[in-house]
Every structure is written in C-alpha cells, then in structure tokens.
Amino acid sequence: MDKQAIYDDLKRQILTLQLEPGTALDEARLSEQYKISRTPLREILRGLAGEGCVEIISNRGAYVSSMEYKVLRDFFITAPMIYSAIGRLAAQNAKPGQIQKIREIQEKFRVAIAIKASADMVYWNQCFHALMGEMADNPYLKPSYDRLLIDHARISQTFYRPRDQEMEERMYSALRHHDEMIAAIEAADSQRIVDLIVEHWELSRDLIEHFVKPDPLAFEMTSSNS
C-alpha cells in the first residue's frame, strides 16, 4: 500500500466506526500491519489529525477523535449553518472536472443503496459532501466543514441501515437530493442548492436529534439569503 491508500483505509475505518472514537492508534502495530516505517506513518496520522479524524496528544500518541456529548451538541448547532454556506459557494465555484467527479461518486452511492451496503452508503455519502467542500474553495469554512462531515458520518453509522421501509425511503430521498444538487451546481443555482440542503438536513436531523438528545435550540435553519 502507498501512503495515500493507507490514509484512505484508516479514514474509512474511522468514518465507519471500525475504529471507534477514542481508540489508541498504536504506531508499532500500524507500521507492521501496513508494512510502513514510523516516519511516513506519522505523516499520515498528522494528515488525519488535520482533518479532525485523529487527535494527537503530546507524549501519549494518536487517538481516533472522540465524540463526547459537547462535541455532538456543537455539531448539531453548527452543521446546518456551515452546510448551507458550503452549498452556496459550491454552486458558485465548482469546476467542470469536479462536477464529473461528483457524478462518479454519486453512482457509487447509488450502488451502495441498491445492494444495502450500509458502510459504503456512509462512506460514499461522505465523499459526495466532502467534494462539495472542495468545490466551495473557502479556506475559512473548509476545516470546520470537514470536521462536521467526519462526525456526521460516524453518527450516521448508528442508524444508516436500511432495516425497514422508512429507512430505505430515506436513502432514496437522499439519493434524489444528491442528483438535484448536482443539477443545481451545474446550473450555478446557489439558492436552489441551499433549499435542497435544507431538505437534505431534515432527512437525518430527527435521527441525529434522537441520538444526541440536545436541548431545544434557538437556531432554526432557513433557506433565506441571510
């Protein structure tokens, strides 16, 4: 495995909770597992830490980022605001090559839903939205957005399973939203994509709310231009 493949493999394990929050990432074990020396492994871990997947603690090593109550509550408050801002900028700034790439990711998400592969649903959904962050091309918003997507993927892993008819319908609604988001990005229709993001957030908001159990929030997400 090259460094990028190792990076992607560790990230996927974190997003799908194969590596649970708070898990210690033992350098010796990982070096042996991936047949890689400590120096490039540490570069990989620092890269994952930069995305928010990993926490590096001085004199203690690297750990999968935690998901304490406060982290989750902050996620619940912040996510809809950042998601809307990123969507608007993605519609304004997307490049043709990025639109083609997001179409390819969408097809992989479509297949994952069809075969009911829950871990792949989580992973490709995260890849879809991560690429929107690249399209937005905003150095102030992107770090926060990337961290939100990581925690969103990990929370989703607790309920992102097509166990019943209602959940399967939600998955196909999400798929339809993605198709419509791609069309809005192609049309550079920033208001349309914000409206879609509002709908998309509502698909998982109640499930996340049930998981996090936050207090009533003053913030209400709207699709206004403010």
Could you give the domains of the chain? 3-64 (1.10.10.10), 69-212 (1.20.120.530)
Question: Does residue 223 carry a pLDDT above 70?
Answer: no
User: Contact, 193 vs 91, CB < 8 A?
Assistant: yes
In the chain, the amino acid numbered 64 is V
Q: What is the mean pLDDT of residues 31-41?
A: 94
Q: What is the mean pLDDT of residues 163-167?
A: 69
Per-residue pLDDT tens digits for 46-105: 999 988 899 999 889 999 988 776 667 788 889 999 999 999 999 999 999 999 999 999
d(C-alpha 184, C-alpha 178), whole Å: 10
Averaged pLDDT of the chain: 86
Per-residue pLDDT tens digits for 103-143: 999 999 999 999 988 888 888 999 999 999 999 999 999 99
In the chain, the amino acid numbered 179 is D
d(C-alpha 113, C-alpha 64), whole Å: 27
Percent of the chain with pLDDT over 70: 86
Which pTM was predicted? 0.75
d(C-alpha 192, C-alpha 177), whole Å: 11
